[in-house]
């Protein structure tokens, strides 16, 4: 399928900005480092026990990390009586951070390579994106298609796509593109990677993907991603 970018249509590039991690105190950085090492949603009690700190102190640091966009909050599964606790997980480095910009540059080179050498660039790009999507949600919970769509929207936000979903998290405007320069050069590859990313994440979360499509450069200021239809 040929994709032709039109002037004024499609997402904007991601604008670099300083990372909030640079301004962390030593104590808060220690909490963030522990979340990064664990790599899974972690309770306040677990962090406090591993660091030998009071739970109230740790909770304050975790909430600060979440408010700064460096950690994600989720609710633990109910276990007996009482209100389920909150879990915290370090978010991947934003595409606005220097290290992520280096990743974007590398990804652009790889996209160009696929476009030049692959006998089926779109298929290879879809497969690469699907592997990426599955890896990125490997530790997420499987709670049905609606939750899977919410998880994918949250993932796209972390990666810098500036998603603007509808009320059902099904039709999503992608207002920014971390690989816009490469997408303008080889849209059939880069846009296929991003479609594969969404499909791979949904599949790993146990949601259907047969109606997941991406309309690249479809709107003034955005691409349009359709996740799967609601559950039957």
The DSSP result for 191-216, as a single string, is HHHHHHHHHHHHHHTT---TT-EEEE
Rounded Cα–Cα distance for residues 166 and 66 (Å) = 24
Rounded Cα–Cα distance for residues 196 and 169 (Å) = 18
Residue 84 · residue 77 · CB < 8 Å? yes
HSE-up (13 A, CA, CB side) for residue 102: 3
pLDDT of residue 227: 93
Cα 220 from chain centroid (whole Å): 23
The predicted model scores a pTM of 0.62
User: Rg of the Cα trace of the chain?
Assistant: 19
Helix and strand counts by DSSP (H, E) for the chain: 8, 9
pLDDT of residue 48: 94
Instruction: At 6, give phi and psi (nearest 5°).
Output: -115, 140
pLDDT tens-digit map of 192-231:
999 999 999 999 999 999 999 999 999 998 999 999 754 4
> Which residues in the chain come in under a pLDDT of 50?
94-100, 230-232
């Amino acid at each position: 399928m040929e994709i032709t970018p039109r002037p004024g249509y499609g997402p904007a590039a991601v604008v670099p900005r300083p990372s909030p991690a640079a301004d962390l105190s030593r104590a808060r950085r220690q909490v963030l480092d522990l979340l990064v090492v664990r790599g899974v949603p972690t309770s306040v009690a677990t962090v406090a026990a591993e660091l030998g700190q009071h739970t109230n102190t740790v909770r304050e640091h975790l909430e600060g990390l979440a408010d700064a966009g460096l950690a994600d909050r989720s609710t633990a599964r109910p276990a007996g009586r009482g209100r389920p606790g909150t879990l915290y997980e370090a978010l991947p480095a934003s595409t606005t951070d220097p290290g992520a910009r280096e990743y974007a540059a590398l990804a652009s080179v790889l996209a160009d390579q696929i476009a030049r050498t692959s006998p089926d660039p779109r298929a290879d790009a879809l497969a690469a994106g699907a592997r990426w999507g599955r890896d990125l949600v490997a530790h997420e919970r499987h709670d049905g298609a609606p939750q899977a769509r919410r998880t994918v929207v949250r993932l796209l936000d972390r990666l810098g796509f500036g998603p603007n979903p509808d009320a059902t998290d099904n039709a999503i405007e992608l207002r920014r593109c971390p690989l816009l320069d490469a997408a303008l050069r080889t849209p059939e590859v880069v846009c296929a990677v991003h479609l594969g990313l969404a499909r791979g994440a949904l599949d790993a979360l146990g949601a259907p993907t047969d109606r997941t499509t991406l309309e690249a450069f479809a709107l003034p200021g955005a691409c349009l991603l359709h996740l799967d239809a609601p559950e039957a």
